[in-house]
Chain A
Amino acid sequence: MNGRRLAGDFQVVVRSYVRNPVALFFSLIFPIILIALFGAILGGNGSVSTPLAVENLDHNSPASQAFLAALNNTSLVQITMVNYSAQNFGVALGNNGYTTGLIIPQGFQANYTNRTPVDVFLYTNPEDASDAGIAESAVQGVVTAFNLHAACSTCSPILGITSRNVGSQVYKEIDYLIPGLIGFTILTSPMFSMVDVAASYRKDGIFRELSLTPLTKAEWLTSRILWYVLLTFISAGIMIGAGIVLFNAHVQVNAGILPFLFAGPFLFVSLGMLAGTVAKTPESAALIGNIITFPMMFLSGTFFAVSLFPSWLQPIAHVLPLYYVIDGMNQVMLFSNATRALTDLVIVMAIALVFFGLAVRFFTWRDE
Chain B
Amino acid sequence: MRQAIEVHGLVKEYPGLMAVDHIDFTVAAGSVFAFLGPNGAGKTTTTEILEGLRRRTEGEVRVLDLDPWKDGYALHRKIGVIPQDFRFFEKITPREGIQYYGALFGTHPDPADLLRRVALEDKADSRYDTLSGGQKQKMGLALSLTNDPQICFLDEPTTGLDPHARRAIWEVIRGLRAEGRTVFLTTHYLEEAELLADRVAIIHHGRIIAAGTPTEIIRTRGRPERLLIEAPASLADYLRTNAGVSAEAHDGRVEVPLGTKGDALRVLNAVATSGIPWEGFTTTQDTLEDVFVRLVGQMDEGTLKSEGHA
Min CB–CB distance A71 → chain B (angstroms): 61
B103 close to chain A: CB less than 8 A? yes
Interface residues of B in 70-111 (CB under 8 A from A): 72-73, 76-77, 79, 81, 83, 85-92, 96, 99-106
Report Cα–Cα, A32/B281, bound state, in Å. Answer: 83
Closest Cβ of chain B: how far from A4's Cβ, in Å?
A: 5
Contact (Cβ within 8 A) A213 B76: yes
Q: Is B54 an interface residue (CB 8 A)?
A: yes
Contact partner, A214, options B86, B92, B106, Cβ 8 Å = B106
Q: Is A211 an interface residue (CB 8 A)?
A: yes
**Given A206-B88, A366-B53, A367-B54: A213 and B83 within 8 A (CB)?**
no
Question: Which residues of B lie under 8 Å from residue A204 when comparing CB positions?
Answer: 87
- Chain A residues within CB distance 8 Å of chain B: 2, 4-5, 7-9, 11-12, 15-16, 19-20, 204-206, 208-209, 211-215, 366-368
Q: A8 to B105, alpha carbons, bound, how many Å?
A: 10
Question: By the criterion CB–CB under 8 Å, are B91 and A15 in contact?
Answer: yes
Check A206–B100 contact: CB distance below 8 A: no
Which residue of the partner chain A has the closest CB to B84?
A205
CA distance A8 to B101 in the complex (A): 8
Interface residues of chain B, those whose CB is within 8 Å of chain A, are 51-55, 72-73, 76-77, 79, 81, 83, 85-92, 96, 99-106, 127, 147
The chain B residue with its CB closest to the CB of A203 is B87
Contact B104 A5 (CB under 8 A): yes
A206 to B86, CA, bound (A): 9
A-B contact count (CB 8 A): 73
Tell me, rounded to whole Å, the shortest Cβ–Cβ distance linking B17 to chain A.
Answer: 15
Is the CB–CB distance between B105 and A213 below 8 Å?
yes
| Shortest distance from the beta carbon of A7 to any chain B beta carbon, whole Å | 7
Q: Which residue of B lies closest to A3 (CB)?
A: B103
Q: Least Cβ distance of B12 to chain A in Å?
A: 11
- Please state if A211 and B72 are interface contacts (CB–CB under 8 Å): yes
Interchain CB contact under 8 A, A12 and B89? yes
Report which of A2, A19, A206, A212 forms a contact with B91, defined as CB distance below 8 A. Answer: A19
Q: A11-B100, A212-B53, A214-B76 are in contact. List 12 more A-B contacts (CB 8 A).
A: A4-B103, A8-B104, A9-B104, A16-B89, A205-B86, A206-B87, A206-B88, A208-B53, A208-B83, A209-B86, A211-B76, A213-B104
Can you list 27 contacts pairing A with B, beta carbon distance less than 8 Å? A4-B106, A5-B106, A8-B99, A8-B100, A11-B100, A12-B96, A12-B100, A15-B96, A16-B89, A16-B90, A19-B91, A19-B127, A20-B91, A205-B86, A205-B87, A206-B88, A208-B53, A208-B83, A209-B88, A212-B51, A212-B53, A212-B79, A213-B101, A214-B105, A366-B52, A367-B53, A368-B55
By beta carbon, the residue of chain A nearest B77 is: A214
Chain B residues in 8 Å Cβ range of A206: 87-89
Assembled-state Cα–Cα distance A204/B96 (Å): 20
Provide the residues of chain B in CB contact with A213, threshold 8 Å: 76, 101, 104-105, 147
Q: How far, in angstroms, from A171 to B147 measured CA to CA in the complex?
A: 59
Classify the interface of chain A: helix, strand, loop or mixed: helix
Query: Using Cβ atoms and an 8 Å threshold, which residues of chain B touch A2?
Result: 106
Contacts of A212 in B (CB 8 A): 51, 53, 76, 79, 81
Nearest chain B CB to A136 CB, angstrom units: 59
Closest 9 CB pairs of A and B: A8-B103, A19-B91, A213-B104, A204-B87, A16-B91, A366-B53, A212-B76, A215-B104, A205-B87
* Chain B nearest Cβ from A351, distance in angstroms: 29
Given the complex, which residues of B lie within 8 Å of A211, measured CB to CB? Answer: 53, 72, 76
How many Å from the CB of A320 to the closest CB on chain B? 33
Q: Which residues of A contact B99 (CB under 8 A)?
A: 8
Knowing A204-B87, A212-B81, the reply to whether A7 touches B72 (Cβ < 8 A) is: no
Which residues of chain A have C-beta atoms less than 8 A from B53's C-beta? 208, 211-212, 366-367
Residue of chain A at shortest CB distance from B147? A213
Contacts of A209 in B (CB 8 A): 83, 86-88
Residues of B within 8 A of A19 (CB): 91, 127
Contact check, A214 vs B127: say whether CB atoms are below 8 A apart.
Answer: no
Please, how many angstroms separate the alpha-carbon atoms of A206 and B100 in the complex?
A: 14
Residue of A with least CB distance to B104: A213
Residue of B whose beta carbon sits closest to that of A205: B87
Chain A residues positioned under 8 Å from B55 (CB to CB): 367-368
A8 to B92, CA, bound (A): 12
Q: Which residues of A contact B52 (CB under 8 A)?
A: 366
Find the A residue at minimum CB distance from B97: A12
> Which A residues are CB-close (under 8 A) to B72?
211, 366
- Tell me the minimal C-beta distance from A212 to chain B in angstroms: 5
Q: Are B83 and A16 in contact (CB under 8 A)?
A: no
Report the minimal beta-carbon distance from A84 to chain B, rounded to whole angstroms: 55
Which residues does chain A contribute within 8 Å of B85, judged by CB atoms? 205
- In the complex, residue of chain A having the shortest beta-carbon distance to the beta carbon of B101: A213
Complex formed: what's the CA distance from A7 to B99 in Å? 11
CB of A24, distance to nearest CB on chain B (Å):
11
Alpha-carbon distance A4/B100, docked complex (angstroms): 10
User: How far does the alpha carbon of A208 sit from the alpha carbon of B87 in the complex, in Å?
Assistant: 10
Shortest Cβ gap from B138 to chain A (Å): 15
Report Cα–Cα, A20/B127, bound state, in Å: 12
Give A19 to B76 CA distance when docked, in angstroms.
Answer: 30
CA distance A205 to B81 in the complex (A): 13
